[in-house]
Amino acid sequence: MKPIHIKKEAFGPAMAKAMETYAVAGPVPDREDAKRRHLFRCLEKGETPDLEYTATQLSPKALLFPQAETMFRFKVPSGGKKAPFLEAESFKERPLAVVGIRPYDARAFDMLTLNFDSKDYKDPFFLKRCHQMVRVGLADTTLKDTNFSTACGTGPFDTTALDILLAKTEDAYIGTVITAKGKSFAAAAGFEAGSAEDTKALARMKQEAESRMRPGPDFSALADADTLDLHGEDHWARLAFSCINCGSCTFSCPTCWCFDIQDEVTGNDGVRLRLWDTCMTDLYSAHASGHNPRQERFKRFRNRFMHKLKYFPDKYGQGIMCVGCGRCIDNCPVGIDIRTIIGEMNAKAAGAAKAAGTAKTGGTDKATEAAS
């Protein structure tokens, strides 16, 4: 890892230089938002990522997995004299550098890849973007109380899913180059080499940021828990009581990957689109027969959290499907906190494991119990 040092006044020119080689995306104030909250999008010539931002309402997920994406176009000639015409959407995007992404959001990109690059299915558009993408991270030194990313195996200074990590100081951005792709981007942008002092400062900032974080929820008992036992627990209706199934949690989540495919036709011309979807709506699980196995609200609520906290870990062995960014907590209109759900599920799992252990040994050792 090689240290780098960029004066803040030199950052804009560096991004302009990088744009000669890369398409650049980053955080900028949303022009359509009255509150001017930041969002990630591809930048136009002359724009610079605003690395002074604190948080974004939506994650950068759409850069890899767009909210609406054209899969192909088709034409059905009238009269039936010609065969239908189908044209795949061409992919001509330049290599994309995402500048200013939080380390835990970059980790979410790797989780998305598990779905779009599986043994049975490889999504060509997603993978081309993913393979070309350069991830220039920005350490999170302004952590919100809802952030519990370190509990999820990542964190505000995590480098595992990044090519470059930057952190802001009073007058500069210091950081480290992590991969060969990061080295190429640093050269294209003209980033200057840093010093040993920069490396020490980065380590000190990491320690300070992580020390300010509140302890995250414990989900250690979920891995060995019985799936059907967790699914059948009677506490789901209570936990989901206030949920209105609006989908804010799923759309703001950096790891949710549900999508729908729709055809839009005008006359003889049509286009097939892939669109973000949410498991929180009743239409999501409705069958063509009219049957819906998740007609009640609490069942949709249960499915979301079972997927995040049990189905995903059991299938991929990668920990829970969450990076602890806290967006679902911040954006929930009724104040549902995923940390509460994790705590309840883990407590149920731990209690079941303890009961099973007691039954297996033929009861609790009273002497041991008294001693404890």
Q: What is the pLDDT of residues 86-97, one digit of tens each?
A: 888 777 778 999
Q: Where are the domains of the chain?
A: 2-65+75-211, 227-359
pLDDT band per the 50, 70, 90 thresholds, residue 360: low
Q: What is the pLDDT of residues 84-130, one digit of tens each?
A: 788 887 777 789 999 999 999 999 999 999 999 999 999 998 999 99
pLDDT at position 363:
54
HSE-CB at 141 with a 13 A cutoff on CA atoms is 20
pTM (global) more than 0.95: no
Q: What is the pLDDT of residues 139-174, one digit of tens each?
A: 999 999 999 999 999 999 999 999 999 999 999 999
Task: Provide the token pair at 208.
Answer: 């300070």
Q: What is the pLDDT of residues 43-66, one digit of tens each?
A: 999 999 999 999 999 999 999 999
Count, residues in the chain? 372
As a whole number of angstroms, the distance between CA 7 and CA 168 comes to 10
Indicate if the pLDDT at residue 368 is higher than 60: no
Indicate if the pLDDT at residue 357 is higher than 80: no
